[in-house]
Amino acid sequence: MKRKIQIALCMLLCSVIFFGCSSNELGYLDLCKEMSNIKSCQFSGTAEIYYDADAIKEFIAKYAEDEYLTEDLEKDFSKFTGKKKIELLYSGSGETSDTEGKYELDIKARIDGREGKLGKLYISSTEGIYIERDMLINLYQLSRDLFTDYKNSYFYSTAYEKELRNALGTSEYIQLFNPEDALELEDESSFDSSVYNSADFTNKTMEFIKDIFKGYTSGTVTSIPGGYSVSADGDRLIQIASECLGYMGSNIDDIINSFLEFTSYMEKLQGIESDEENMKISDADRAEMAGQIAAIKTQLDYMHKKGELDFIKPFSYNQTVKKSGNVYTCEQNLSMNTNSKDLFYIKSKSTMESKKVDMKFPVQGTDISAISQNISKLEDKYNPVKKVEISWEKSRETAEDGYDYCDIYYTRKSASPLSQEKDYDWGEYQNLNKQMYVPLRQICEYFGEEVGWDNQNKIAYVVRDGKKIKINGIYDTETVFVKARDFEKLGYKVNYNGSNPDTHLVTIEKN
């Protein structure tokens, strides 16, 4: 439990660092609670994202002490250049109850002044997340303005676009998330995620924050006509973190007791029986946690004084929240500015009106996993892997120690918006009689090969021009492993290099 509380305190510091319990901060929290408890509403808004890629890279290089990090940055982000402005415009409606939250959004995008309709997004805590099929096509079309270096690539060819449209299926909607999949990951307790939609949970959470920070104020919230304003720059953010750590260390007993009470409440919501013995924190453990918090504060103050946190100073955050009748407005601005130059900013403005709405939700849609597989096949077809390099440690001549994984580096024909020219993966391997056996399907699919399985005869095969080429190998845990040299039978060039004193290297390459 002590470890659990230590982690929770760190998360708490990060999530509520702007807030305290001054009259303005409490008023701000109450207004936010009022907005979150609205059961039915219409809303609209805009979000604007701007970045100066070259300025960002210069800034990172200035503060990066590791020269290798700087070199990797230049290499990996060589195509990340210039300035870009992206705007999202949305409108929609929402309904919430103690058992469900449901939202419908109609989204448009504007990139460097060029506007395009994206489509509708549907979000439900019980029915999942859906988008209109055409949204992916519209995103693909708009991406031309984002990935200008690939304008002459296969990725934007007429042939590829035609196959992409076919890969998306014929259903009007695509399901991005199925809540039933998430339920399979939950234990057999009576936990119901819908409790997070309840007003009781919202009220209890607000009470918890107020109870923990009843003697603390961040000084970032001020009262304005109709609402509140939150404002802090990077330098002030560092100071707030230090002040908050100081408060937590000095009030560790009150904070731990409030946390234990809130934890007990959460366990009851989830149908978990509380372990009273495990909920006890000794005086020695409390003192140890207070000492750890004090040590973190001392280190933070030292780093601030020495200028080691100067990279945070250019950040700035501003937010205003207002209410007029049953209409709520919110404006936010997160930015980073240095030497009078904007590195990036994210600006948003939204309006929400409490009113009754009528929503229609999709009944079914194509599963996103099926579409992802189709798009991966397209990538393998138009941008195939030319070479696969497999390495494993010489110190492991057998996989008997339980570590039976190898490093796999594959090189494609070219880089694309979907993949890098050279990328990394890992896979299982078998080492029998000092011969390397690699996963057949994994390697073949990198090269765009079609792999099949004859279940009756327990033999794998590769399909070429409609013909099945049988491949003998080792069948283990639903995976077929074949000798690396056997890829020569499929027309690949295979080379072994043992010059490195620590690793074996096998290269499989298209002729």
Pairing, β 385-393 against β 221-224: unpaired
Q: Which two tokens stand for residue 319?
A: 């937010």
Share above pLDDT 70 across residues of the chain, in percent, rounded to a whole number: 87
Residue whose entry in the numeric block shows the structure tokens 């990172």: 60
274 burial level (CB within 10 Å; 0-12, 13-18, 19+) = middle
Q: Identify the three-state secondary structure at position 454.
A: strand
Q: Categorize the per-residue pLDDT at 456 as very low, low, confident or very high, splitting at 50, 70 and 90.
A: confident
Q: Categorize the per-residue pLDDT at 464 as very low, low, confident or very high, splitting at 50, 70 and 90.
A: confident
Give how far Cα 428 sits from Cα of 213, 325, 392, 409, 437, Å. Answer: 50, 62, 10, 14, 9
Q: What is the pTM of this model?
A: 0.74
Q: How far is CA 316 from the centre of its chain?
A: 23
Instruction: Assess whether pLDDT exceeds 60 at residue 189.
Output: no
Alpha helices in 16-92 (DSSP H): 23-36, 53-63, 67-76
Crossing angle of helices 252-269 and 2-15, rounded to 10°: 100
Q: Which two tokens stand for residue 194?
A: 């819908």
What number is the average pLDDT over the span 8-36?
73
Q: Categorize the per-residue pLDDT at 242 as very low, low, confident or very high, splitting at 50, 70 and 90.
A: very high
Please report how many Cα atoms fall inside a 13 Å half-sphere around the Cα of residue 253, on the Cβ side: 3
**Cβ(351)–Cβ(325) below 8 Å:** no
- What is the per-residue pLDDT across 302-314, written as a single tens digit (0 to 9) for each? 999 998 899 999 9
- What is the per-residue pLDDT across 375-419, written as a single tens digit (0 to 9) for each? 988 988 899 899 999 998 877 655 454 457 889 999 998 888 888
pLDDT score of 452: 87
What are the structural domain ranges in the chain?
384-510
Give how far Cα 354 sits from Cα of 38, 40, 93, 124, 313, Å. Answer: 7, 6, 10, 19, 38
